[in-house]
Chain A
Amino acid sequence: MPDKRKSGVELFFINFALFALLLLLHTVGDSVIKIAGATPILTLSALIAFSMFASEWTSSFTGLVLGIFADSVSANGSLFNTVCYLLIALFVSVILHFLFNNNLRSSIAVGLIGSVFFFTLKWLIFFALSRNVQNSLPYLLYTALPSALYTAIAVVPFYYLERYLFKKYS
């Protein structure tokens, strides 16, 4: 029993360090892995992969905390990332436990659903419905959706990493 608890603590700290590092990389400046206008949100990719293995409760809490920290630097107000990250983490966790098998194909599917939801909602709220922004469709087509695809692809390495970590420490 103490070994199991110790493993849980180790898993927590490793994931904490991973998320902290990804958040820092996201907020330190221009992303080095940017391709044209598409920028992957690696914290979202890592969260999706993490939620595939963690419980609904843990996923939601992680999404909430990660979203709050992402919002503390985001130009899009103080709520958008918090709500989106929590909902995506909860959705991925629930769907993986009740509907999908936990495998690579599922990781791509939920990654795509989660990231498309995030970027489309962002475009809708901050561009399409904003009275200050005109002609926002090119942003959706050439920036938001490629970024969503890029974020979904980035789920794959995190899926393997989380699978390894959860196997080792659970």
Chain B
Amino acid sequence: MRFFFRSRQFKIIVSVLAIVIAVSAVFGLIGRRMAPQTDIAGTVAAPVRQLATTVKNAFSDFITAYSDGNALMLENAELKSQLNDLREKVADYDSIKTQNDFYKDYLEIKEKNPDLKMCGATLISRDSDDIYQGFLINKGSMSGIKKYDPVITDEGLVGYVTEVGLTTSKVTTLISPELTVGALNSRTDDSGIVSGNLDLSKSGLCRFSNLARSCSVAIGDYVVTSGEGIFPKGILIGSIDSIGTDKLNTSIYADIKPFVDFSEIRGVMVITSFNDKGGINPEEEEK
């Protein structure tokens, strides 16, 4: 074995490993981009992954239709659509009237918010080992996507872009502890921070924390983005599922059930630009 570790083969393997680490570090830390070897692999594999995801979705639809009945599936889709409409109406009634129609569809989002520039993208693969249900989309820097761009669906906030390649990007979801969102209770305007945590991620929830003890949040209230930091104001996050107090009994937190079902996502919109981007810039924060 000693001979192997002194061999030319071993030295080449170690050199290749060192080069890969160095290149990834340079691109990741300085360039804030996906490492080139990963980017190339992602680009090469993207069409195959897209095809596989399409086949899987078709198969999944077929199984659903077969097991539950096509009628049930259609009814379910219609009910979901009605539920989304109702959610929008309640949020509208509560506070942010101008932002409400935002969610009817993407076209209206653009009409009401001309400053928002969006880019449609399709989910092409998931890391089934990722407990936070992150995924890969088929658009990258060539489509104008940058790191930290917000990702939404017509149901609400999904997360943000964490790694950008030329033709693919990785999305981190709302239930990941990596993501922190300034948020408001749409009914009472109480503000706080929404972020994920390891325990809650198992049940697909995230936490609305740092709420003042005097606040009047209630179960069922809707939570929207406050517009601070990297997310535009008024994007639906989810509804309050339960309420508790922190360990020191100094503030209140609420667990939120996101409106977006991360396991069912097929297409998303990436917000590539909007006015009034808040003061919290994650890049500056990291520096």
Contacts and interface: CB of A to CB of B under 8 A. Distances in A.
B212 interface: no
A87 B18 CA distance: 12
B285 interface: no
A16 interface: no
Interface string B103-127: 0000000000000000000000111
Nearest to B129: A39
Given A28-B53, A28-B56, A139-B198, A75 B38 contact: no
B83 interface: no
B177 interface: yes
Given A28-B53, A68-B37, A73-B136, A78 B1 contact: no
A60 B16 CA distance: 10
B4 interface: yes
Contacts of B60: 29
Nearest to B27: A78
Interface stretch (B40-48, B227-235, B236-244): B40-48
B132 interface: yes
Interface string B31-71: 00011011101100100110011001000100000000000
B72 to A, nearest CB: 21
A97 B10 CA distance: 14
A49 interface: no
Contacts of A20: 48
Interface in A46-101: 56-57, 60, 64, 68-69, 71-79, 82-83, 86-87, 90, 94, 97-99
B209 interface: no
Given A79-B24, A134-B197, A90 B128 contact: no
Interface in A100-153: 127, 130, 132-136, 138-139, 143, 147
Chain B residues touching A, range: 35 or more
A30 interface: yes
Nearest to B1: A98
Interface of A: 20, 23-24, 26-31, 34, 37, 39, 41, 56-57, 60, 64, 68-69, 71-79, 82-83, 86-87, 90, 94, 97-99, 127, 130, 132-136, 138-139, 143, 147
Given A72-B42, A74-B130, A76-B130, 17 more contacts: A28-B49, A28-B125, A56-B10, A56-B13, A64-B16, A68-B37, A72-B136, A73-B42, A74-B127, A74-B129, A75-B170, A75-B172, A82-B37, A98-B1, A127-B198, A138-B198, A143-B131
Q: What are the 6 closest A-B residue pairs judged by CB atoms, nearest first? A: A72-B42, A132-B177, A75-B134, A27-B125, A78-B35, A98-B1
Interface of B: 1, 4, 9-10, 13, 16-17, 20-21, 24-25, 27-28, 34-35, 37-39, 41-42, 45, 48-49, 52-53, 56, 60, 125-132, 134, 136, 162-163, 165, 168, 170, 172, 176-178, 195, 197-199, 202, 263
9 contacts: A26-B127, A28-B126, A29-B56, A71-B41, A74-B130, A75-B170, A76-B130, A83-B20, A94-B1
